[in-house]
Structure 1
């Protein structure tokens, strides 16, 4: 069983000062509104409604934390960041999100990696590039999930993956990786699970657990 299948909701945060202070590794999930972020978290954790998925873009307006662990032990957190890019979001709310996201990504030392969701039909947008620009200077891994890959042909999917990898290389160097992903037909599920689990379990706080039997 995947380590992520033991995830549970932990807390919701709307201000940087209220972030959890425990020294557990965190994996952040980011992406435009309707890029499939909540659906991806749910399928990775093998749960239907762990992360709230709304038909209304911009509905998720806070940072949501989920614990990863087993037998009452916490190994780390999955962190669902507010979706960005919804045109009808009020300006003051957008400004708050931008400040919160940039401060979280640039200053929160517990982050071990960023999972960035891109709708494969759109590829990189300017807001996605801004997200990478906030994170890349930290020299920590960025893993792009090209979501909804089932919505395009295989040829287009691989062409888009090639382009995204090239652009990510320019922005993040060797810290950036990318893959195809689909929540509806579970394309890329094992690859993404392995990347995220390795980020969590390779953190020093979990070093002693690597020698224990897998759950």
Structure 2
């Protein structure tokens, strides 16, 4: 890991806010009474507990960053090999404080925004009432075999009524959708009767 040129830090190592800062402060300064627990101030820090949590987070993040090759000093000015670090920080003052601490400990750091989206880029579905093109694309990319209409409806985002309309069109051998599917080797098949009936699209090998 010491020779890697990229680090990705997703998630921060939070400790228990109710015990960690209190235990550390008590260990260094001795037990405190209820008044301090209600208002944990010390040497100008209005909320020492929060300050300690942020410092602990900052130290852990800086240590994680320096696991890769940026820890290797290459010149007498403290230079290091180039490396990229991707990190997700909380919004607001806490994230700003952690970033400021990283900058202090790693002077010369270049910071740029990372357009990260946890759930991936948003994809807008087309109209559920006009699935023709999306259906053709979906089936064209499918491997040969059978695909149930339940799977098709889920992939295309079709509501029950739209699914029924599509199945009605597929039963029509002259419908444009049916003809377009045939052109790529896909046919519509229904097996069974009544509630046990199963509707599928069958793609030839």
TM-score range relative to shorter protein: under 0.3
Q: Structure 2 length normalisation: TM-score?
A: 0.27
Q: Which has the higher strand share?
A: 1
Larger radius of gyration: 2
Q: Structure 1 length normalisation: TM-score?
A: 0.26
The higher relative CO (CA closer than 8 Å, separation ≥ 6) is in 1
